[in-house]
Structure 1
Amino acid sequence: MPDTDRYFHYPEDVDNFGFDWGRLALTVAPEVNGATQFSAGVVTVPPGQGHARHNHPGAEEIIFILEGRGEQMVEDETGTPVTREVGPGCSVFVPESRFHSTLNTGDETMRIFLVYAPAGPELALRDLPDFHIIPAADLT
């Protein structure tokens, strides 16, 4: 692949991280295109599904809702869960190491763009019991 191809990726271009609750297409990351300061991708969550409360030690996260509706929880500085309804256009900031979760409460699939800074928290997802790879060839 020409070197310039590493700059442009659709979620279907890369192997996706699959889970019981949905999938993550990591389109920007050190192992995908050499990004060094952050990683990013698109999360797909079917209706009624969501990921459990978790955190990313040492990393901040930005969540941007592209499509669908749901509930987003982020713990505040005292550890108290703060939950809000989110929909297209909503940005959510998850401070470093803060617990958070997402639940699709709508009738359509949620698509979420996320950014981790620094890169790396996404690698720990490979250790989850329901983790599996969905080859890019199977997405088209």
Structure 2
Amino acid sequence: MATDKYFLYPKDVASFGFDWGRLALTVAPEVNGAERFSGGVVDLPSGEGHARHNHPGAEEIIFVISGEGEQMVEDENGNPVTRKVGPGCTIYVPESRFHSTKNTGSAPMQLFVVYSPAGPERTLRDLPDFRLIPPGA
């Protein structure tokens, strides 16, 4: 853990690596003691994205920092709603709703994600393509 738990860059923490990209948790109970939410930076290479999934019992906020993509979020009837998203767009994913993100641009896509309550990110460790990337790598 970085010595300064209040001011963190993604390079300061271990990242979760996957075939589709990586997640650097900069806010989480195990990172800096956050109790009610967790969050971090997601990097998606061009053409990559995460498959349709949900976080039972948790809401999510996705903020597009850079890049372009397609975001799907299920509506209250379970129907997929897909929109093109780019820098500055905030996506709200209600509790337990299925969603997916794909980088459709030619450059990397970077997102900041927040989970409330904290915890959905722990299940990512169980995915078959999960690997822990050390800080700075």
1:135 lines up with 2:134 in the alignment: yes
The 2-side partners of 1:100 and 1:86 are apart by 14
* Distance 1:81-1:2 versus aligned 2 partners, 3 A rule: closer
Q: How many residues align?
A: 137
Q: RMSD in angstroms over aligned alpha carbons?
A: 1.2
Please state which structure has a larger fraction of its residues in helix: 1
Q: What are the Cα deviations for residues 59-101 of structure 1, in whole angstroms up to 9, with x where unaligned?
A: 0000000000000000001110000000000000000000000
The Cα of 1:22 is off from its aligned counterpart by 0.1
* Residue segments in structure 2 that go unaligned for 5+ positions in a row: none
The Cα of 1:2 is off from its aligned counterpart by 9.0
User: Which amino acid is the alignment partner of residue 75 of structure 1?
Assistant: E
Percent sequence identity over aligned pairs: 72
Aligned position for 1:33:
32
The SS at the match of 1:51 is strand
Aligned position for 1:112:
111
1:56 lines up with 2:50 in the alignment: no
Aligned counterparts, 1:50-129, within 5 A: 50-129=49-128
Aligned position for 1:46:
45
The 2-side partners of 1:105 and 1:23 are apart by 17
Could you list the structure 1 runs, at least 4 aligned residues long, displaced by more than 4 angstroms after superposition.
none
Aligned position for 2:23:
24
The Cα of 1:137 is off from its aligned counterpart by 3.5
Alignment TM-score, normalising by the size of structure 2: 0.97
The 2-side partners of 1:17 and 1:39 are apart by 14
User: Which amino acid is the alignment partner of residue 43 of structure 1?
Assistant: V
The 2-side partners of 1:117 and 1:134 are apart by 24
